[in-house]
Amino acid sequence: MILFSDMSRASTVHFGSDPPAGRWPGGEPGFDNSAHGQKLRVLIVEDELFVAMHLESVLEEIGFQIAAILSTGESAVKQFPLLRPDVVLMDINLGKGIANSP
């Protein structure tokens, strides 16, 4: 895991599985700071299989729950109401992109 101590620039980098104490702004990553302390659900929209698998692995390692991995913008728009993720991580260069509807 790579941890940047300042999210705006990579001035200090930590390598390892255990983050240094007090380094995560707003609490531990992947966890809702509400009273329930549930994992945040992430929808990954990525058309490259290995990139999607890597993102899934990294996000799960730091405590996020993966709601789904989808490969098109159309499927993300369609599935969003059903999946109800807390966060959407979407590739901005998805193949052909979302088709325009008449």
Spatial distance between the Cα atoms of 46 and 76, rounded to a whole number of angstroms: 10
Predicted TM-score of the model (pTM): 0.65
- Measured between alpha carbons, how far is residue 94 from residues 1, 24, 83, 90, 91 in Å? 26, 30, 20, 8, 6
**In this model, does residue 91 exceed pLDDT 80?**
yes
Question: What is the secondary structure of 16-44 as a DSSP string?
Answer: SSSPPTT-STTSSTTB--STT-PBPEEEE
- For 37-102, CATH number? 3.40.50.2300
Q: What is the pLDDT confidence band of residue 42, given thresholds at 50, 70 and 90?
A: very high
CB atoms within 10 A of CB 45: 22
**For residues 54 and 95, which has the higher predicted lDDT (pLDDT)?**
54
Pairing type for strands 9-15 and 2-6 reads antiparallel
Domain regions of the chain by residue span: 37-102
pLDDT digits (tens, 9 = 90+) for 45-88: 999 999 999 999 999 999 999 999 999 999 999 999 999 999 99
